[in-house]
Structure 1
């Protein structure tokens, strides 16, 4: 049997992390699609839940999404009845975004689906290995996990 091509590349942690991330994104995207949700829609919906009511500009910064792209995502979410945009009480020239009850219910279903997809991704690891892996990812990602 011939050796797999690109052994030097395939031995790089960055390559392995990229492949793992791509597999994880695909699993989560598939799980979210079963609920009619796309990845960025899920991210924005989750951020709205955590930050609401949140000014649209602050929301975009919190998820690192370009303002034009955020408007499109919010338009989709509002048209589906998942979020509300109302004048910001702190500055009526701005919009404040909040979750509707239906948005909260869909987000709960999507979070459950995303967790199940991540369980599939990490299925080859024991519970202790999962904890260790998550700790290591947090350390090398430069985040504190919050």
Structure 2
């Protein structure tokens, strides 16, 4: 099964196969993101979360996408410098910042959607549409069970 000759004991473990699949997915996404000048895969979930929820605090944003506070701060600073985000003190609590996606950021997110679609297509190429849906549904259930991230049942990607 594994052209690199991984031991059969590994190849029979779902957890190992998921890890290998994840590695390939990260590689494909990283290649696509770097091609657009994005230095981190974390920019996409950050922009996607803001597009969905609107202005939110940096701390809440990090919790929502599972990103460390310092990584959120660095990403927000870079994305703000590129004109993709606005950051301003929260009027209800001046100690925290609210971050929102700009119109330019929305356009850039659309561009990133296309790159992620391409990476996903490459990763899932050997699977039929029905297999892809089944895999997505099973993985979404696993994620929801183990880390409690909200998973949309209607999302097609």
State TM-score, norm by structure 2: 0.83
Q: CA deviation at 1:140?
A: 3.0
| Among 131, 148, 151, the residue aligned to 1:145 | 151
Taking the aligned partners of 1:7 and 1:87, their CA distance within structure 2 comes to 55
Q: Report the secondary structure of 2:42's partner residue.
A: helix
The list of structure 1 runs, each at least 4 consecutive aligned residues, that deviate by more than 3 angstroms after superposition, is none
Aligned 1:4-19 pairs, distance under 5 A: 4-19=5-20
Q: Structure 1 pair 92/34, CA: closer, same or farther in 2 (3 Å)?
A: same
| Among 133, 136, 142, the residue aligned to 1:134 | 136
Q: Structure 2: 5+ residue runs without aligned partners?
A: 153-157
Q: Report the secondary structure of 2:89's partner residue.
A: strand
Q: CA deviation at 1:122?
A: 0.7
Aligned 1:111-122 pairs, distance under 5 A: 111-122=113-124
Q: Report the secondary structure of 1:145's partner residue.
A: coil
Q: CA deviation at 1:145?
A: 2.7
Q: Structure 1 pair 71/130, CA: closer, same or farther in 2 (3 Å)?
A: same
Count of residue correspondences: 144
State TM-score, norm by structure 1: 0.89
Aligned 1:31-110 pairs, distance under 5 A: 31-37=32-38, 38-110=40-112
Q: Structure 1: 5+ residue runs without aligned partners?
A: none
Taking the aligned partners of 1:65 and 1:53, their CA distance within structure 2 comes to 17
Taking the aligned partners of 2:37 and 2:18, their CA distance within structure 1 comes to 28
Q: CA deviation at 1:5?
A: 4.5
Q: CA deviation at 1:138?
A: 2.1
User: Which residue of structure 2 aligns with residue 22 of structure 1?
Assistant: 23
